[in-house]
Amino acid sequence: MPTVNIVLVEPQIPQNSGNIARTCAVTGARLHMVGPMGFAIDDKKLKRAGLDYWHQLDITYYKDLADFFSKNKGPFFYFTSKGPRRHVDVQYPDGAYLVFGREDAGLPEELLVRHEADCVRMPMRRGERCLNLSNAVAVGVYEVLRQWDFAGLETHGQLTRYEWSEDVQ
């Protein structure tokens, strides 16, 4: 199964990180959390948002961006409202890292300007605030998985008390 990596740079809101952890658990995405973070990992709100899934995570913690980049080689795709191209116009290879910034500030512009070709944005109305971080991560992850035809994921479900008819494709 191909691997997608989700990178949270200095996350500040535990509920967002918990929701993202849950998204990673159900999609098989690896989670990378880059400090400093605005909460402790044992925060009750963080655990509540992703509690049933926490044991299923492939998660790595880093002291800061320098620590993260010293241990990971990319390819990196920087999700930012300032990005020059749409996130759906990029081909994401196996092992891609989707990098997201902190909820209140995004990614540092010093980082973005050095990697202009790798900066992407999700289309939205002019002048509006960005999507919630956990929603943006879910949109990004599922675009990558769509491009990979959802490799390794179950693509159909089963009813609990009934059976689906056989002629539905």
Where is the binding site for S-adenosyl-L-methionine, in residues? Answer: 101, 122
Structural tokens at position 96: 């891609």
Which residues, 6 or more positions from 94, have their beta carbon under 8 angstroms from its beta carbon? Answer: 2, 3, 148
Describe the strand order of the beta sheet including 59-62 as a list of residue ranges.
Answer: 59-62, 30-34, 5-9, 97-100, 76-79, 119-121, 85-86
Length of the chain equals: 169
Detail the residues annotated as belonging to a binding site.
101, 122
Which segments within the chain are labelled E, that is strand? 5-9, 30-34, 59-62, 76-79, 85-86, 97-100, 119-121
Q: Is 157 helix (H, G, I), strand (E, B) or coil?
A: coil
Local structure of 111: helix, strand or coil: helix
